Amino acid sequence: MKRICLLSTLILSSMSAHALPKCPQPEIMEHIIAPPSFDRAPYQNTLNRFITWLPNYHMIHDEIAAYGQPITVTAKFDYGSIAHKDLEFETVNFYLRGEHDSAWQFITQATTNRDGKASITIPPLTAGQYRIYAAVPADGTGTQGFITVVEPNTPAILFDIDGTLTESDAEQIGDYTGIKYADPKEAAYALVRRYIDLGYQPVYLTARVYWYAKGTRSWLSWMNLPQGYLRTSLTNETSLFRTAEYKTQQINQLKAKGLNIVRAYGNAKTDAQAFINSGLNPLQSFTIGEDAGHYGTTAINGNSYQIHINEQVDNFPAAQCE
């Protein structure tokens, strides 16, 4: 791997002395920014030319990073809506762009492994929002993800997606195929947007497998919601059979990195189990739908968030940040 070269303005120079954490700025993630320009290059693995004519389902796992700590980012490259063939042993470029940057910065190259994954580690960055882009010079494709560097106790609200922000679990198929965007649950947009307006970092934690990430980002944009932080699972096994374990682990990792998850929303028993097992407050862990109230969580009655917003969100205090 080539040595990572970041402009000195992005490298952490001193620890923050702020009494309160920096307020998240998710609106920065809503801006549509063109991918970086890069030169095409020959295939490093000539066999890859036989799969790259297929539609791609590349993705980058968004990262919440603790202030003052290095950041490891993983990109996954795959082709074909049915086969999902991994891009093996191919060179990829990584680019970074901070919230106040006017252009992408090339940071390094990496080589994908047998699973089509390429990982890099970035030196500590100052608190704020960053975009990261991974490009395949051989065919010109690429994918964008987001890095959010947080200070301790950064306030956040966590949302499941399927059956929580959308009408049902089955609607994710529409996002995947691109045939139809998933129908949102009534007042789901207002729910998320209200917390954003109050200064909370939105976190989307879904058991959708990684190749749904591309469609999920499109859905969030269609909903006029910021795309990051979005975390999907990396295997079907996790998505189907280890959902509660996976979400519990993810929540614990987010807390360890500095997020203060003050409220969480889900619909399934596995959501409820993960919320409670990870130590979230049952009174602030909300579930909607047939399994509302499961595992000691707080039930939202009906199939709409409107009453819940009126009674429990409109009077919720603003995030403690600056």
CATH number of the structural domain spanning residue 132: 2.60.40.10
What is the helix (H) or strand (E) element at residue 306, kind and residue range? helix 306-308
130 part of a folded domain: yes
Q: What is the pLDDT of residue 9?
A: 41
**How many residues comprise the chain?**
322
Is residue 56 over pLDDT 60? yes
Q: Report the distance separating Cα 162 and Cα 252, nearest Å.
A: 21
By the 8 A CB rule, do 268 and 166 touch? no
Give the pLDDT score at 82. Answer: 86
Q: Is residue 5 part of a domain?
A: no
pLDDT band at 5 (very low <50, low <70, confident <90, very high): very low
Q: Could you tell me if residue 59 is inside a domain?
A: yes
Q: Are residues 76 and 30 in the same domain?
A: yes
Same domain for 299 and 220, yes or no, is yes
What is the pLDDT at residue 287? 98
Q: Taking the CB of residue 84, how many other CB atoms lie within 10 A of it?
A: 15
Tell me whether residue 305 is in a domain. Answer: yes
Question: Which among 150, 180, 210 is the end of a domain?
Answer: 150
Q: Decide if pLDDT at 18 tops 70.
A: no
Boundary (domain end) residue, out of 131, 150, 169: 150
Q: Are residues 116 and 252 in the same domain?
A: no
Q: Is residue 4 part of a domain?
A: no
The model carries a pTM of 0.89
Do 144 and 188 lie in one domain? The reply is no
Q: Which residues pair with 230 in a beta bridge?
A: 204
pLDDT band at residue 12 using 50, 70 and 90 as cut-offs: very low
**Of 109, 129, 150, the domain-final residue:** 150
User: Is residue 25 domain-resident?
Assistant: yes
For the chain, how many structural domains are there in total?
2
Based on the fold, state whether residues 279 and 308 are members of the same structural domain: yes
Residues 79 and 162 in one domain: no
Does some domain include residue 11? no
- What's the pLDDT band for 172 if we cut at 50, 70, 90? low
Do 62 and 42 lie in a common domain? yes
Among 8-22, 25-39, 244-258, the range with the most confident prediction by mean pLDDT is 244-258
219 within domain boundaries: yes
β-sheet with 59-60: strand ranges across = 59-60, 71-76, 117-122
For the chain, the first-to-last Cα distance in angstroms comes to: 38
Percentage of the chain beyond pLDDT 90 is 74
Residue numbers of the domain that contains 62: 18-150
- Amino acid of residue 6: L
Do 91 and 115 belong to one domain?
yes
Q: Are residues 182 and 287 in the same domain?
A: yes
